[in-house]
Structure 1
Amino acid sequence: MGIPLHAIVSSLLVDGTWSLPPARSEAQVELYSSLTTIQLAPTQDYYEWEINGQVYTTYKTGQLYDYLCEPRPDVFWHKAVWISRAIPRHNFHAWLVVLNRIPTRDRLINWGIQVDDRCLLCNSNQESRDHLFFTCNYSYDLWQIIARRLQLLPQRDWQATLDQMISLSTQTPQQILTLLAWQATLYWLWTERNARQHTNTFRTVDQIFKLLDRQLRSKINSFRDSNPNRSSTMLQSWFRFG
């Protein structure tokens, strides 16, 4: 249109007349017609967001989402899944696991897909969400190692484990560490399951733990700049029984 990339609207108005190249399409004609109706003010323009009658100077997706969607009460497990300073992909994966929406083999069979129903980790029982976390011997062996470091009594039943995580109601370094480690365990077990499914590669429980341990320590160290005391407390708790 011949307008400089960084031009502002007022730069196109010279002595009360719009300085614009001839229109070359119907869209430009409509744009020019709209421009002639604009009364430019001498004050600086600004923007604001109005949601449900309340004016905001910043845009927040969460506020708009809550306004557009029907309000619903928090689910009882939200504090165990949506934790602050968590690893985002672990948050998301834990959310899918709690909702039982990961494509385990029992679900694939229910969708009409012909697959072997045996667990890819232990190769003995039917694979399901509840079996993977932590009825499966392989996954339970990993969870035992993690739980021992957290001074936690490991449960083999999925609902019992979830209830255990939900009961951690206080925002202490130990609680945050426990939830971070639990979510990391879910994530790395599912990663190992998928690696066996798609690339036919197998890792031992000890190898998975080393990957999880390295990632968790890196995450804890990332707290050091904003909260060095929390970082030190969590590292001490993690290493105390390691």
Structure 2
Amino acid sequence: MGRLGKAVSSQTSVFLGCAGHQCGFMGVEEVTQTETFGENLPASCRDPGIRLLVDQIKAFPIVLSTDTEDAALWKKDVNEFQKVFTAHNTWNLIRMQKVVHPWSRIVWFPQNVPRFAFVVWLAIKDSLATGHRLSSWSQGLACGCVFCGEPDETKDHLFFACP
């Protein structure tokens, strides 16, 4: 796990209660078991990061095994770790996964024309700036169809009913 002095800056080590040279020579177990660890935080220290660090270090149970060698492990899945880093696993862990809609392959495919795909996507989401939608934003706006004179210009009228 290394030394606490290498993990934090010199200013942070003063705030944590192990000034300067002590952190460099003390192991993590010795520093966290001292009674003064984190006690001499200045009253003016409002940094929530430092306070959170102190609370997490105090709450973390330290179990050191002398018969095994330290190793860096990378998170592969929620409760699974591996020795090799892969960007694919990291991306899957940090991204927000959403439901794939059945119409997505119709709109977003490799040979699409981006301008047309964007308009189709807006139409599917019912977000096109039609006269009906614009009239809900502003009073007194003419919302009729400019092609046929229909008084209510909707998405369905434009794509399917307008002669």
- TM-score (structure 2 length as normaliser): 0.43
Greater Cα radius of gyration, structure 1 or 2: 2
Between the two structures, name the one with larger relative contact order (CA 8 Å, sep ≥ 6): 1
